[in-house]
Structure 1
Amino acid sequence: MSADDTARFIYLGLLLAAVGGYFLAHARKRPGRIAQQATVWGLIFLGVIAAAGLWGDIRQTVAPRQMVYADQGRIVVPRGADGHYHVVAQINGVDVPFVVDTGAGELVLTRRDAQRVGLNPDGLSFRAQARTANGSVATAPVRLDRVQLGPFTDRNQRAWVNGGEMDTSLMGMGYLQHFDKIEITGTQLVLSR
């Protein structure tokens, strides 16, 4: 059992003790009402446990992932609930989530993602500037050994590390230009080679 698991169990134990103490303290005054409230809280607790256990299935339904049709040379990306297209690419063997952004000129990594794929953001030279909807931001040019999206692998890919705050890395036209065809059909983005 990890330290995080131990901390979670301690937290849940304290929470259970606090809620249980409340019920015991008030049970003497109105036992019927307390039993009713205990039942409601028990059902809420069971619902939370069920939702946590089924989260993987729920997440796949709510936020579907890209589908790869390797034999047909294409990747189909469903539009997310936020209206954007999200993909997961492997950068130097590490899964990195991206938002597909045809308005971005290049492949842009967050500082966190850059570090995860083996780059040292503190050692990069943030000498370039990029204009964004939120103003100018410093960027550092980098070369990625390997970028893999589905069955497609590209080597020595140029990218940039964003020096500012950014939630998700962006897959811009600097990478998307490797595809022969980019089309949006209904609620799907289709990338073909």
Structure 2
Amino acid sequence: MSGDDLGQMAYLIMLLVFLGFWFVGSNRQRLGKTMQQAAIWALIFVGAIAAVGLWDDIRSTVTPLQTVMSDEGRIELPRGQDGHFRATLEINGTRVSFIVDTGASDMVLSKQDATRAGLDPDNLPFFGRAMTANGPVATAPVRLDEVVFGGYVDTNVPASVNGGDMSGSLLGMTYLQRFEQITIAGNKLILTR
């Protein structure tokens, strides 16, 4: 810590001590009630910190995850709160989250996901074109060595890397057509092979 940091810390401690003395002095008549309210606020503060720290665990418990029923040959994907179906696949040994998009022709990786999967987007030939809601974007065709989804392993899978900004990857029809049946029942997308 530098001298400035120590000075700021000393100032804050003195300020807190002053405020504490003022608070206790001004509420001497109702000290028991004041301490009870201070304890309640302290518990609320600690609870908020715990909720922020445990948010990932809470979210994974509340939000249903994809289910693989290998003996029945199907994968069930729950509908997310945003209305989309999401799937987690392993691309070349790396877990990648996809939005299932039956309107997309290809399996499309974002540049970030492509990099994580061992591809080098900076050295790919972006000569393909795809039409998106935001207009045309350049794409680069690639072949993925291994794609694992549930218990299914596919090799030499065709895909594209999006040359534009993309918040996530899309699981399109070139991969989804490997399944015999795609069914939406209630809030689940069921893929059967």
> Structure 2 length as normaliser, TM-score?
0.83
Q: Percent identity?
A: 51
- Paired with 2:126 and 2:37, the residues of 1 have a C-alpha distance of 58
Correspondences of 1:29-178 after superposition (within 5 Å):
29-31=22-24, 32=27, 38-39=38-39, 41-52=41-52, 54-178=54-178
> 1:84-129, CA deviations, whole angstroms, 9 ceiling, x for partnerless residues?
0011000011100000001111000010000001000100111111
Change in 2 beyond 3 A, CA 1:24/1:38: farther
2:17 is matched with which residue: 16, 20, 24? 24
Change in 2 beyond 3 A, CA 1:168/1:21: farther
- Paired with 2:172 and 2:144, the residues of 1 have a C-alpha distance of 15
Change in 2 beyond 3 A, CA 1:166/1:40: farther
Query: Structure 1 stretch 87-96 or stretch 55-64: which is displaced more?
Result: 55-64
On the 8 A contact 1:146/1:155 being kept in 2, the answer is yes
- The structural deviation recorded for 1:177 is 0.4
- The structural deviation recorded for 1:53 is 5.0
Change in 2 beyond 3 A, CA 1:130/1:22: farther
Structure 2 residue matching 1:82: 3-state secondary structure: coil
Change in 2 beyond 3 A, CA 1:36/1:23: farther
- Paired with 2:95 and 2:14, the residues of 1 have a C-alpha distance of 46
Structure 2 residue matching 1:175: 3-state secondary structure: helix
C-alpha RMSD of the superposition: 2.4
Structure 1 residue matching 2:84: 3-state secondary structure: coil
Change in 2 beyond 3 A, CA 1:47/1:143: same
Quote the residue 2:192 is aligned against.
192
> 1:121-146, CA deviations, whole angstroms, 9 ceiling, x for partnerless residues?
10011111110011111111100001
- Paired with 1:184 and 1:103, the residues of 2 have a C-alpha distance of 15
Counterpart AA for 1:86 = R
Quote the residue 1:6 is aligned against.
none
Counterpart AA for 1:98 = F
> Structure 1 length as normaliser, TM-score?
0.83
- Paired with 2:78 and 2:109, the residues of 1 have a C-alpha distance of 22
Structure 1 residue matching 2:42: 3-state secondary structure: helix
On the 8 A contact 1:77/1:87 being kept in 2, the answer is yes
- The structural deviation recorded for 1:153 is 1.1
Structure 2 residue matching 1:51: 3-state secondary structure: helix
- Paired with 2:165 and 2:36, the residues of 1 have a C-alpha distance of 48
Structure 1 residue matching 2:96: 3-state secondary structure: strand
Query: Structure 1 stretch 42-51 or stretch 79-88: which is displaced more?
Result: 42-51
Q: Which runs of 5+ in 2 are unaligned?
A: 1-7
Query: Structure 1 stretch 61-70 or stretch 183-192: which is displaced more?
Result: 61-70
Structure 1 residue matching 2:75: 3-state secondary structure: strand
Size of the aligned set, in residue pairs, is 178
- The structural deviation recorded for 1:41 is 4.9
